[in-house]
Amino acid sequence: MSKHKKRSQINKKAILLAHFGTTYPSALTSLENIRRQVQARIPGIEVRHCFTSNMVRNIWSARRRDPRKWLDEGVADEFLNVQGFLGAIGNLQDGNYRTVIVQPTHMYHGEQFEDLKSYVSALQSIRTIKRVWSPFEKVVLSRPALGTCGIEHDYAEDIEEVAGLFEEDVERARQMDAALVYVAHGNDFFSSGAFHETCQVMRSRYPGAQIHIGMVEGRPGVEDIVAGVTGNGRKTVLLRPFMITAGDHAHNDIADDDPGSWKGAFEAAGCQVETRMEGLGSDDRFAAIFARRILETAEDHGIDLLS
């Protein structure tokens, strides 16, 4: 009587960086820097990108009709042909990457993270008749920069970690006698509470600095922040996106010379404005936070990334 050989599948490990995404070629450097910091701290593991924003991916899809234009501008092929989460995870599975840590680079637990969480949960629910043919051994979701709910990792500690990275901005604002204003993406129908808490932590950490965090979408908006700054008698503002990349929102909603931008609103209120158009992902210290999130998530789920 013949014996059946025990079947097994190749099980390689990978990290999938899930970015909101950007349409600005110059802003892609922030995303590549995050990958660079992750690879430096977790060598030998495949690290790939995907974009969670449907709108952003649609723009890159249209640009692929004239690929040479974008490649000549220095856009990497991986970004020109960027995929959404499902496409990227499918390619990993086809390449025998069956243990995957999904690391969102979203700032907080908002709409994009919540949708990504749903996708990962759906993959985790797959049950094949023979477990050996399951498409994945483990697909696990890490947490965004400002943390998320749960008891495994205190989100307040994640906020403290991020808030400690802005000494340079605080010092520049002090030299200018300026209010320090950060602008996050936010969301019209999702709480911006994590940003409010971050702002309070930053004010405590940097006493004497006038710090505000406003939202492109949601509250507090530009009118609220302008009123708060001018109400305190400040006439100079250091303005910076509180975003992973300095892309469309940073250049058009925040720093544009149009009166409808944040810069324009402050100038209309009689303020002098200096902008710092650099995504947080370009800061090596900030980018390295995601490597730490990945290593903690790996430990939580019994995944050895360093051997």
Query: What's the pLDDT at 246?
Result: 86
C-alpha pair distances (Å), 304 with each of 13, 45, 95, 105, 179: 9, 11, 19, 21, 45
Query: What's the pLDDT at 63?
Result: 96
Query: What's the pLDDT at 250?
Result: 80
Yes or no: say if 64 and 82 are a contact pair by the CB < 8 Å rule: no
Yes or no: say if 238 and 169 are a contact pair by the CB < 8 Å rule: yes
Structural domains in the chain? 12-156+283-300 (3.40.50.1400), 166-280 (3.40.50.1400)
Token pair for 149: 């709910």
Phi then psi for residue 202, to 5 deg, are -65, -40
Token pair for 180: 């320090």
Query: What's the pLDDT at 6?
Result: 65
pLDDT < 70: residue spans in the chain: 1-6
Query: What's the pLDDT at 260?
Result: 87
Q: Taking each helix axis from N to C terminus, what angle separates 28-41 and 284-300, rounded to the nearest 10 degrees?
A: 50
Yes or no: say if 139 and 287 are a contact pair by the CB < 8 Å rule: no
**In 3-state terms, what secondary structure has residue 99?**
strand
Query: What's the pLDDT at 248?
Result: 79
Q: Give the E-state strand segments of the chain in sequence order.
A: 12-19, 46-51, 97-104, 138-141, 179-186, 211-217, 236-241, 272-275
